[in-house]
A and B are shown apart, each in its own frame.
Chain A
Amino acid sequence: MKNVELTVNGSPVSGEVESRTLLVHFLREHLRLTGTHIGCDTSQCGACVVHVNGKSVKSCTMLAVQADGAEVTTIEGLAHGEELHPMQQAFMDNHGLQCGFCTPGMIMSALDIVKRNGNELDEATVRKELEGNICRCTGYHNIVKSVQAGARAMGGES
């Protein structure tokens, strides 16, 4: 067993893990942060995307020990109390989900897209950048709209 210490959503956390414990299992089962989902478990669907040191990663394809010492942000770390993050709000306003299973990963990927591409995103950019996130309900149309609206809202416009 290994001891890992990391910062998750701004708070220091630690735990005893096996070497093979995946980051997503550490988040969900040790920390009970179950907003991060496991969809395919084969690094394709993106339901498990979190940020590690500010970059989006698939937490089903990273060991907890690899994240030792890192700063991790999960979907639970976005809202301020009852006030949703602008990207979360945009998904709500634009009906960017049906079953909601992929949504945490979509939103974490969306924030990474905004960070790298800015607040004015065209549809083609969003669709290309969401290649690693799979939704089986919506056909992506409203997800793309949500990401564009969320990006603008993060830039200070509604």
Chain B
Amino acid sequence: MYEFNYRHANSVPDAIAAMQAADDGKFLAGGQTMLPTMKHRLAGPSDLIDLKGIAELKGINVTDQSVTIGAMTTHAEVAASTQVQNAIPALARLAGNIGDPAVRNCGTLGGSIANNDPAADYPSAVLALGATVKTSQREIPADEFFTGMFETALAEDEIIVSVSFPVAESAAYMKFENPASRYAIVGVFVAKTAGTVRVAVTGATTCAHRALRIEEALAGELDAEKVDAVTIPVEKMNSDIHASADYRAHLVIVMAKRAIAAASS
């Protein structure tokens, strides 16, 4: 790892000022991706601005309509929250199956979606539930947030404050995971809200996305059989040592059907 300046921010304005003063700064959330990336020298920021000490970025607030989770809330905290378990059980289960227990004690919601790893779990939930990402500058709808591989709509000095997930009538997440890393080879999140069914896929392509063909086939109903007729374009699928493009395209259908079945039961 290259040496860098470590800065501990006490507030959001403090963190933004530190970022603006840095040559090539990065915000540090839970560090579970940032630090391995720096160890491999795939990143070498001049400054790391630690957001851990900012109280307003933490916590969970649940109402009848929504679950709002602070950006620096850890996966373990989301998974263990009885409020989240009751309001959107699929979201709590998703958080409880990221990485392993020690990783979940550090990794955060904000860190996950800001990094936007193609195989991360949370982006699929943000998209399928139609969440809103609240930042230090604005509110970004899920459909505008994830813009490409490791790319988001965030500006360099923009910090995620919280993510607000609408409470769904029913939802489920199914992940075909890499047995070593627990990242999704393919993961599908299905959510039904007021007559609409949204389906989001992670792990399959360069960026989590809504599976519009599956959504159209379902037409607002959680009926797994309707997915059988859907064709997934193979040419857009990732292909690597873990799974070929053909296999991933197949897995999208399989995991979508499993998620639909789980959401409708």
Contacts and interface: CB of A to CB of B under 8 A. Distances in A.
A61 B36 contact: yes
A62 B100 contact: no
A49 B102 contact: yes
- Chain A: interface secondary structure? mixed
A129 interface: yes
A58 B106 CA distance: 9
A43 B98 CA distance: 13
B181 interface: yes
B95 interface: no
A109 B36 contact: no
Contacts of B32: 43, 61
Chain A, interface size category, equals: 20 to 34
B140 to A, nearest CB: 28
Given A42-B36, A55-B76, A57-B106, A63 B31 contact: yes
Interface residues of B, number: 29
Interface stretch (B2-10, B201-209, B248-256): B2-10
A19 B35 contact: no
Contacts, number: 72
Contacts of A112: 101-102
A89 B80 CA distance: 30
Interface in B106-144: 106
25 contacts: A19-B3, A19-B4, A19-B6, A19-B48, A20-B1, A20-B3, A20-B4, A44-B180, A44-B181, A49-B102, A55-B105, A56-B102, A56-B105, A57-B105, A61-B35, A61-B106, A62-B31, A62-B35, A63-B35, A65-B50, A66-B31, A109-B101, A116-B80, A132-B100, A132-B103
Interface of A: 2, 18-20, 22, 41-44, 46, 49, 55-58, 61-63, 65-66, 68, 109, 112-113, 116, 129, 131-133
Interface of B: 1-6, 8, 28, 31-32, 35-36, 38-39, 48, 50, 52, 76, 80, 99-103, 105-106, 180-182
